[in-house]
């Protein structure tokens, strides 16, 4: 996860690079064998995207379309 975060420091949804987390797309509790699988990771900012995009506003839930939602926002971002 550390290497993934180093390689992907920006939030996949909003583009922030400060205070980001690596989110497991498929939760470790549901699929422990994918805990270290980089294809199961996505970087989300801690400020709001991790809870709202990754967990649908509830830490107990998981957003099954997290990657798709983040992919749809890619075209909206402005290059800095």
How far CA 48 is from CA of 3, 16, 21, 45, 51, in Å, comes to 23, 11, 11, 6, 6
pLDDT tens for 30-51 read 999 999 999 999 999 987 899 9
Q: What is the pTM of this model?
A: 0.83
How does pLDDT run across 59-73, given as a tens digit for each residue? 889 898 998 888 876
């Amino acid at each position: 996860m550390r290497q993934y975060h180093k390689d992907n420091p920006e939030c996949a949804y909003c583009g922030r690079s400060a205070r980001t987390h690596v989110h497991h797309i498929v939760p470790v509790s549901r699929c422990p064998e994918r805990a270290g699988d980089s294809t199961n990771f996505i970087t989300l900012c801690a400020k709001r995207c991790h809870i709202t995009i990754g967990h649908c506003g509830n830490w107990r839930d998981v957003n099954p379309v997290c990657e798709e939602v983040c992919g749809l926002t890619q075209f909206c971002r402005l290059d800095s």
